Structure 1
């Protein structure tokens, strides 16, 4: 798989439209309601230099075709920081070209540069495509994720 023509770079203010198209598709993929509020809030987090989240974009043949949204997380048991990947998405037409792997490779470089001791992420149990990649680059954890919904 040739990934030479995939550029991975941080999102900038000028990327809003391209990012939004991908993020809307990501929301649909996970069955979320398309929400202008969620889009605006998430983009605000990404472009605010002091915001809680960052975003890497994958550009192939001049088109933004993938995103990886992540953040730093403190771990109390070690007094150290780690990175957490919140969202990874590749446009359907760019899948199978190494885009997701390129995003994960770059995110690993970011993590090492920042001194994070690990990266974490979750995915849906039935997301076989993503899990094939994840199983090649990481180990599934023994932790079980719980959710307590607090809003109606």
Structure 2
């Protein structure tokens, strides 16, 4: 397995993986929505970036999207992991660990103070990985739909 920045050659695999991610969370997602996110990930002016984990054949088997975020209280910048998804057939092979480690390494290069993410309370399989590689925080998340 190799973790690399998302490239145009990954588009078909990325579409498959990102559609699977949306399905997992029960989010209606259209091809137009995926086109928009894909464009963000390749726009140097946009903050979002993407990584994929590839198998030996160069096929993307997992994806991660991340971006910087300001942390005013500590006067630092952190990294936010927006999306992480691993092909269901590749789970249990530490693909998520490799993607998270690559984002952490990128954060170190950029001088970030933390890598942060959220997941669903009932996402038990992912939480087992997250509990192994990170520290659970006591913070709750709130949304105001606009």
Does the alignment reach a TM-score above 0.5? Answer: yes
> 1:72 offset after TM fit, Å?
0.5
Alpha-carbon distance in 1 for matches of 2:101, 2:74 = 25
> 1:88 offset after TM fit, Å?
0.4
Which of 34, 39, 55 is 1:60 aligned to? 55
SS in 2 for 1:77: helix
CA distances 1:27-55 after superposition (whole Å, capped 9, x unpaired): 00000112123211111110112212001
Aligned residues between the structures: 145
Alpha-carbon distance in 2 for matches of 1:78, 1:34 = 36
CA distances 1:5-30 after superposition (whole Å, capped 9, x unpaired): x1000001222111111000100000
SS in 1 for 2:26: coil
| 4+ runs deviating over 2 angstroms | none
With the length of structure 2 as denominator, give the TM-score of the two structures: 0.95
Alpha-carbon distance in 2 for matches of 1:51, 1:20 = 19
SS in 2 for 1:58: strand
Alpha-carbon distance in 2 for matches of 1:61, 1:15 = 14
Pairwise mapping of residues 110-125 of structure 1 onto structure 2 (< 5 A)? 110-125=106-121
Which of 39, 46, 54 is 1:51 aligned to? 46
Alpha-carbon distance in 1 for matches of 2:56, 2:81 = 25
The answer for the alignment partner of 2:137 in structure 1 is: 141
With the length of structure 1 as denominator, give the TM-score of the two structures: 0.92
Alpha-carbon distance in 2 for matches of 1:77, 1:37 = 37
SS in 1 for 2:73: coil
> 1:138 offset after TM fit, Å?
1.2
> 1:129 offset after TM fit, Å?
0.5
Alpha-carbon distance in 2 for matches of 1:96, 1:134 = 13
CA distances 1:92-119 after superposition (whole Å, capped 9, x unpaired): 1111111111111111111111100001
* Root mean square deviation, CA, Å: 1.0
